[in-house]
Amino acid sequence: MTVQPLIHARGLVKRFGDFTAVAGIDLDVAPGEAFGFLGPNGAGKSSTMRMIGCVSTPTEGTLSILGMDPVRDGVKIRARLGVCPQLDNLDPDLTVAENLTTYARYFGLPRAEGRRRAAELLEFVQLSDRAESKVDPLSGGMKRRLTIARAMVNQPDLVLLDEPTTGLDPQARHLLWERLFRLKQQGVTLVLTTHYMDEAEQLCDRLVVMDAGRIVAEGSPRSLIETHSTREVVELRYGDTPLESLRGKLDGVGERIDVLPDRILLYADDGDAAVAEVHRRDLAPSSVLVRRSSLEDVFLNLTGRTLVD
């Protein structure tokens, strides 16, 4: 990497007692990148984010954020970070606008400047009409947008988003993606965690796939799919037929077979040709879907498990 990375980690480890949550990871995030951690529950995503956010001390390894040491320069680093934690921690006693202006004062902005900034950010996350409302009556998606607005109060160089859209309905997720995409276009460096492969595909230039505290693959969404899966995937369903009994009969159709509890996945560059072969073997399924490979398939291929169970 020719430019100085905003985040640089080597052999980064986080232990809680004798449990290892992050088992020695290497990372470089460049300015302007949208970088993701994709992994299932317990993979170590939040533990990593908290170290990057300077609220948790690495147990071992090297970590530098914005060229500084998080242990020695935590205060200086945090002044240039925007953080959206996994669980919203908005102040329920304050109004929507006050949640932002209070934060602005915390960063030393003059009152008038804080109010101006709050109004601008509420506009950006489409919450201007809720400015005087308390936090509690807001929907999950609105709270998430407010937390993101709050993370932007100090005009951060680096924004950390821990599962920005978990638990939101599709419409709320798409609105958030669109706003995050705009931030990225403005040149803000985004680091996010997710266990939604579509989110990772939509937002991330580059991502690491994490499992059990380790990085199991790294690259752009496209390159990960090219390296770790076939072009297409065929999903076969067989009603009540025990699927394991079909594994042998499907042997050699496509490059690889995964038998899941409710369906069989056939990995093939040409899905339609694979379906034709399934029919030729008299193994007509009750339903069939041919689709492009996704990051979910990459994860399954690398770990033998699905991202969201």
- Contact at 8 Å (CB) between 22 and 13? yes
Q: Which of 9, 27, 38, 43 binds ligand ATP (CB under 6 A)?
A: 43
Shortest spacing between CB 71 and Mg ion, in angstroms = 22
Question: Is residue 47 part of the contact set for Mg ion (CB under 5 A)?
Answer: no
**Is 154 an interacting residue with respect to Mg ion (CB under 5 A)?**
no
Piece in contact with ligand ATP (CB under 6 A), picked from 45-53, 240-248, 259-267, 279-287: 45-53
User: Contact between 48 and Mg ion (CB under 5 A)?
Assistant: no
Judged by CB under 6 A, does residue 44 bind ligand ATP? yes
What strands lie across the sheet with 214-219, from one edge to the other?
81-84, 158-162, 189-194, 34-38, 206-211, 214-219
What Å distances lie between residue 239 and 10, 137, 156, 235, 306, CA to CA? Answer: 48, 44, 52, 13, 21
**Structural tokens at position 183:** 């931030």
21 binds, among Mg ion, ligand ATP, none (CB under 5 to 8 A by kind): ligand ATP
Shortest distance, CB of residue 75 to ligand ATP, whole angstroms? 22
Sort residue 246 into left (φ over 0), alpha (ψ -120 to 50) or beta.
alpha
Applying CB under 5 A, the span of 43-51, 73-81, 209-217, 255-263 interacting with Mg ion comes to 43-51
CA distance 200 to 214: 18
Q: How far is the CB of 49 from Mg ion (least distance, A)?
A: 7
Which span (42-50, 133-141, 178-186, 231-239) binds Mg ion, by CB under 5 A? 42-50
- C-alpha pair distances (Å), 289 with each of 110, 281, 293: 58, 18, 12
Binding site for ligand ATP (CB under 6 A): 16, 19, 21, 39, 41-47, 86, 195
